[in-house]
Amino acid sequence: MTSNLPLTVLVHDGPQARAYLVRMEREGLRPERIVVMVADPFTAKAKRPAGLKNVGLLRWAERVQDKTNNHHPYAIRRDHPLLVRAIADAMEPVVPDPMAFYAEMFSHFHYERFADTVIRLPANGYKDPGLVPALTALGVGTVLFTGGGIIPKPVFAIPGISLIHVHTGFLPHVRGADVLLWSLLTRGRPGVAAFFMTPGLDDGDVLATKELAPLAVELPPGPRPDDDTLYRALFSFIDPLIRADLLVGDVLTNASAVSSLAGTPQDLNTGVTFHFMHATVKARALRLLYTAPAKSAHTDEVEITTVGKRGSPPPARYQRYYAKPSVVAPLKLMIDALRANSSLRATSIHNRQNDYNALGRHPERRALHRALNAQLALQTEQWPTYDYGEGWFYQSSDELGITGLRNTTGRVQAFGLADLVRGRTVFEIGCNTGFLSLAIASSADRVVAFELNPYLIAIAEAGKEFLGRTNVAFTVAAFEDMPEGEHYDDVLSFANHHTYDGNTRQSLSDYFERCHAFTKPGGRLIFESHPPELEGTEFHRTLDLIERYYTIERSEVHRYGTFLDQGRRFIVATRR
């Protein structure tokens, strides 16, 4: 049920405003109106009034503003997806499913989704002379401030206006700048407060304030991101969610609450007004917030090098070619393919060359391919086992323009997977880069997929976002560690019943017993074998175990796709 709030959200576009609106929408709250301030690229730097009288110019300026104000979250999501996931894990107590929350904030975001009335106002900040007349004409009452500068006194003088601000410090103890980091340093935990703004600094009557549980983000294995990146990630993915949580959970709970907001005066003799942190102090605070990975043998000294394992061409070497079109790259790839010391590597490099050439026809995929290659580069250096770290894709995705060693489209078509899972819940074991899950998600009701290798899951998440698939959830986990509880219509076991990467810690019998435990009564196991030469003469034992828990309905071998696709047995079996 939706509740309409007597509230104007005055938007300075950025993570803070977006987090407020996404959180409001999640709670079924819609503000009366959104006023988006749009800076004029022609006059903003000179601090002159905004022009932008033409609607087309205004739209263009809004796009420029989006790229400028959200540059850091966009870049961090692209270049550091594992960092974002680590932050999301730490933010779970603040907001459910933070990864989905970030996607709502930074993928295809449109203000029209959050309010019936959206007004775009040309304004170079709060001092723009057009702002006060425009807000006065609108007759705004309660206004939510979303950051972006200091409010000048004339705005406070607008008749009937009251401005609400959410500040990431526990009032009255922590005021000023960098307060989230100061809170971590001086109080050991984040704090947050909502208050009525005044021309003073964080001294208005308090609407709500609280301290949260201590917060620590366990960084993913690999090189520690630099402090600038970690600081920007704080303001992109942590700070906005903490503010939104208090705002929506404790202040804007419903329409009548907004109509009768009343603050409590602060004790202005208590507390400290902090200034921006010196780099040395900031580094110390960031060390408290972002902790080293607990379970990894990797250290801060690990860096992506340009030398791959076993002489394979390392994806790090190619990363620069994805920043912008390169005429050198295809030539380089062709030479590397010719020099490759195995046909598998030659094929992989050749696939990469074809995919790279296709970016000329699909420039919208360039940033995605850059992000995916960055993950391949990282896992080449960081992931200790098996060959997914050698810099190529195992799975293909036609939708993403990725050619791997397995033909996903052929796999889906040969097995009739789209029809098999139509409208059903699916659980995929060991999903690799998730391209198969993404391919069947368009017909399935919901897909839950997991994979031990976090770099592959980072690739899966990037693909999911690019395609806008909302009914797929990816998780980093071993099958042995997946909590039982939910049951699925179809459990997909595609060449995962035993692996030769040394990562499996359960017997074949245990494996199928767990498959059975995740299958609904009447549900199915959809199974694909390894190639015949890997299954060997013991495959009958695998079939016996399947039949212990399931009744085999279909068992067939298909001829399609690459040499790695050929000869595998495909089985559909119903749970006993």
Partner 1 sequence: MTLDRQPILEQLLGPEAGPDDDALAALCRQIDVKKTLDGGPADAAVVAAQLLRRAATPDAPDHPNAPDHPNAPEPFGLKCLNSALKALDLHDADSEHIPALRAWALELLDALAAPGESPEGTP
The CA distance from 48 to 11, in Å, is 20
User: How many residues does the structure list for the chain?
Assistant: 576
Cβ–Cβ under 8 Å, residues 143 and 8: yes
93 binds partner 1 (CB under 8 A): no
281 binds partner 1 (CB under 8 A): yes
CB of 288 to partner 1, least distance (A): 5
167 binds partner 1 (CB under 8 A): no
Closest to partner 1 by CB, 4 vs 273, is 273
Closest to partner 1 by CB, 274 vs 512, is 274
280 binds partner 1 (CB under 8 A): yes
CB of 176 to partner 1, least distance (A): 9
CB of 41 to partner 1, least distance (A): 28
Tokens matching residue 566: 């050929």
Size of the site for partner 1 (CB under 8 A): 28
Contact pattern from residue 206 through residue 245 relative to partner 1, giving x for each residue in contact according to CB under 8 A and a dash for the rest = -----x--x-------------------------------
190 binds partner 1 (CB under 8 A): no
Tokens matching residue 10: 């005055």
Using alpha carbons, select from 550, 548, 518 the residue that is nearest to residue 426.
518
> C-alpha distances in angstroms, 60 versus 48, 256, 265?
19, 38, 43
Stretch that binds partner 1, among 105-113, 192-200, 271-279, 447-455 (CB under 8 A): 271-279
Applying CB under 8 A, among 20, 102, 274, 356 the residue interacting with partner 1 is 274
CB of 172 to partner 1, least distance (A): 9
186 binds partner 1 (CB under 8 A): yes
One DSSP character per residue, 310-354 reads: GGPPPHHHHGGGGTS--SHHHHHHHHHHHH-SSHHHHHHHHHHHH
Buried-exposed string 155-165: b where 16+ CB fall within 10 A, e elsewhere: beebeebbbbb
> C-alpha distances in angstroms, 225 versus 82, 286, 476?
11, 11, 21
Stretch that binds partner 1, among 20-28, 185-193, 330-338, 514-522 (CB under 8 A): 185-193
273 binds partner 1 (CB under 8 A): yes
Ramachandran assignment for 62, one of left (phi > 0), alpha (psi -120 to 50 degrees), beta (any other): alpha
Closest to partner 1 by CB, 186 vs 409, is 186
The CA distance from 367 to 359, in Å, is 10
439 binds partner 1 (CB under 8 A): no
Stretch that binds partner 1, among 226-234, 264-272, 411-419, 516-524 (CB under 8 A): 264-272
Cβ–Cβ under 8 Å, residues 396 and 409: yes
174 binds partner 1 (CB under 8 A): yes
Stretch that binds partner 1, among 60-68, 180-188, 332-340, 524-532 (CB under 8 A): 180-188
287 binds partner 1 (CB under 8 A): yes
Cβ–Cβ under 8 Å, residues 380 and 316: yes
Stretch that binds partner 1, among 151-159, 279-287, 316-324, 562-570 (CB under 8 A): 279-287
Stretch that binds partner 1, among 123-131, 278-286, 343-351, 505-513 (CB under 8 A): 278-286
Per the DSSP assignment, residues forming a β-bridge with 536 are none
Q: Which amino acid is at 117?
A: T
Closest to partner 1 by CB, 187 vs 298, is 187
The CA distance from 500 to 151, in Å, is 62
285 binds partner 1 (CB under 8 A): yes
Stretch that binds partner 1, among 262-270, 296-304, 509-517, 564-572 (CB under 8 A): 262-270
Closest to partner 1 by CB, 272 vs 323, is 272
173 binds partner 1 (CB under 8 A): yes
Question: Looking at residue 568, what DSSP letter applies?
Answer: -
Stretch that binds partner 1, among 238-246, 280-288, 368-376, 556-564 (CB under 8 A): 280-288
CB of 225 to partner 1, least distance (A): 18
CA torsion sign for 126, 129, 132, 138 is negative
Cα angle vertex 483, ends 478, 488, to 5°?
95
How many CA atoms within 13 Å lie on the side-chain side of 364?
5
Closest to partner 1 by CB, 187 vs 520, is 187
Q: What are phi and psi of 494, to 5 degrees?
A: -105, 100
Residues that bind partner 1 (CB under 8 A): 173-174, 182, 184-189, 211, 214, 267, 269-278, 280-281, 284-285, 287-288
